[in-house]
Chain A
């Protein structure tokens, strides 16, 4: 076991002071974790929906594009 030097003693003294601010720090950290968790939940909930809307919109456009092409081909055949 390493002997305690004067730097360790200073550190121990400072750590004792932590007891005075412990609750406040813990409360703030928990609050921030809560906010991040909330943002995470929102992202989890809405990102897949946004993607499905985007993908749905894109495939709808494609289908419209395809039918327009088909219409043109049909017009050419008929002369």
Chain B
């Protein structure tokens, strides 16, 4: 109790710490106050992404806990080469993709779908994806595989470039371009089918 009071008093007069300052302070002092600061900044965002990718609340909840622990354990490995948020989100996306990969059903569906889209020729305009209504986006995101969801989120939610996505997923840029193209095609196909069924 006294320890917490001391931490609170010693930090109350301080300016808001940046992520990097909080990390170095945590690594120096091992004081949980600094990790809690990062936790409060990112846990909701991580949960939101996990919920979109994993669909189920309980899974998103467990994943958020595991990701926060992974961040804590690897905090000393954060080299500051990218923004801390980018590092956190790359852990989040990779965690979710690995999680989905472990579920065999999803994997087999993904393989089938890839084969079905080998002959796609024309590209999908970003505008076509971004103009989808929120209700329809929810439906589409519930239908497409986690790998596609992650890549679409990295592009349209985080605003990452192909190069950045390739670095996060440790794949070549051409592989990412192909994956993105497939994901966009699948997105549009499901959207069109949904619109046709609904209206």
Contact = CB atoms under 8 A, between A and B. Distances in A.
Interface of A: 2, 5-15, 17-18, 21-22, 24-26, 28-29, 32-33
- For chain B, give the interface size range: 20 to 34
B78 to A, nearest CB: 18
Contact of A11 (B39, B52, B133): B52
Contact of A7 (B32, B72, B153): B153
Contact of A17 (B43, B51, B72, B141): B51
Main secondary structure of the interface of A (DSSP, over half): helix
B70 to A, nearest CB: 11
Contact of B132 (A6, A15, A28): A6
Contacts of B141: 10
Main secondary structure of the interface of B (DSSP, over half): helix
B117 interface: no
Interface of B: 32, 35, 39, 43-45, 47-49, 51-52, 57, 61, 64-65, 68-69, 72, 130-134, 137-138, 141, 152-153, 156-157, 159
A14 B149 CA distance: 15
Contact of A5 (B45, B48, B61, B130): B130
A15 to B, nearest CB: 4
Contacts of A32: 65, 69
Given A2-B159, A10-B141, A18-B44, 7 more contacts: A9-B134, A10-B52, A15-B45, A21-B61, A24-B61, A32-B65, A33-B69
